Amino acid sequence: MQNQPVQAELLRRYRAHFNRDPDVVAYAPGRIEVIGNHTDYNEGFVCSAAINYGTFFAAARGDGQTCRLMVGDLMQEVAFNTDCAEPSVADTWSNYVKGVLSGLRERAPVSCGFDGMFLGNIPLGAGLSSSAALEVSAGLALARLYGMAVDRLELARIGQAAEHRFAGVHCGLLDQISSLFGMEGMLVETDFRTLEVKNVPLGNDACFLMCNTHAKHALVDGEYNRRRAACEEARDYFATVLPHPVRALRDVTVEEWETHHAGLSDVVARRAAHPISENARVLAAADALATHDLVRFGRLMFESHESSQVNFENACPELDCLVAAARRIPGVMGARLSGGGFGGSVVVLVHPRDAETAGAALTNAYAATFGNPCDVRVIRPSAGATVVQAG
């Protein structure tokens, strides 16, 4: 099992705090969004991967209806009742678990509280979806603890609802599906209309570098939600001017956008252009991957980032610096921001033999501009979430 030292440390801290062993431990990885930016909630396509960093969640049945939840790295505890009707204003990190418990309670009775603790090694704010990893690991552990049968898509929806109702982020299902459906050495191709998921091999001639800028990545500030609202406004407009049904921006082609976008404000038109053109890029990238054309795949990643800069405006100087540097580094095939944007990380496609030198060059380029180096890690597409220990 990957990340065993994190699991061992979680168990040590759990025993020290609760004076017993947990009944169940679950693990969920973070994810990288390889290509397919803000297409999930527009019912489009995404190519992603579960990664070799994640979160463990340990739990045991408690007394009465009280839930005690510890965040393992800070060793801070919050307590709440199993009804968990309202999100917390103070300890906002607990809201992801509260939201998951609330979603489980809607499906089956919760007979008692729990003693829970989580610990992971996903860099926070890096755009690697530490929040979804927490939701998924908590969902797997608590479902097993309470004897609930919850399939992977249902659990993904529970995590998404937790984001919507308890964290205030109107996200799609990308993060949760990537964490749940990952496979070792495989990318996850998802159609977010049908929720059809395919695992496809990356191959031995490519790996990813994740470059964490440490720039602010706080989607609950409202930028994510404003982008989604603009997409919905554009969807409603195109539904009135196109001769076929438009349920989401997935139903609008690039050519139709070019013909009709003048009826939208400039900002809304550019916001819509991003997921519309991105869907076409994801399909082209899937075709390139199927034919092992990594150069073409990487070129589409660069084009994706350019659309984020110009149309969606969810990049930032730190991300742009790294992508611009990546274009100049031998061995780099593609690069783009990963995740919601507005900070976080850049994902870079390289041949494994070039990973070390490319990583050093990216670190130096970033430090030359901003004074501090970025963190660069080699990312391996990895196995998805699972229960790793159950009594």
pLDDT at 220: 46
Q: Does domain 207-379 have CATH number 3.30.70.890?
A: yes
Burial of 16 (0-12, 13-18, 19+ CB in 10 A): exposed
* Concatenated DSSP letters of 172-226: -SHHHHHHHH--TTEEEEEETTTTEEEEEE--TT-EEEEEE------GGGTHHHH
| Helices 174-181 and 152-162, axial angle in degrees (round to 10) | 140
Rounded Cα distance between 292 and 367, Å, is 34
Q: Where in the chain is the domain with CATH 3.30.70.890?
A: 207-379
Quick check: pTM over 0.85? yes
Read off the amino acid at residue 292: H
Question: Hey, is 116 helix, strand or coil?
Answer: strand
- Contact of 127 with 48, CB cutoff 8 Å: no
Residue whose entry in the numeric block shows the structure tokens 């603790």? 117
* pLDDT-derived band at 2, boundaries 50, 70, 90: low
% of the chain exceeding 90 in pLDDT = 84
Q: What CATH number is given for 4-201+382-390 in this structure?
A: 3.30.230.10
Range 37-44 average pLDDT: 94
Active-site annotation holds for 175 = yes
Burial of 317 (0-12, 13-18, 19+ CB in 10 A): exposed
Range 311-332 average pLDDT: 96
Whole-angstrom CA distances from 379 to 33, 111, 200, 349, 352 are 12, 40, 16, 10, 11
Tell me the pLDDT tens digit for each residue of 176-216.
999 999 999 999 999 999 999 999 999 999 999 999 998 87
* pLDDT-derived band at 49, boundaries 50, 70, 90: very high
Q: Where in the chain is the domain with CATH 3.30.230.10?
A: 4-201+382-390
pLDDT of 292 > 80? The answer is yes
Kindly name the residue from 21, 23, 91, 175 that is annotated as catalytic.
175
Tell me the pLDDT tens digit for each residue of 232-289.
999 999 999 999 999 999 999 999 999 999 999 999 999 999 999 999 999 999 999 9
* Residue 52: HSE in the Cβ half-sphere, 13 Å Cα cutoff: 16
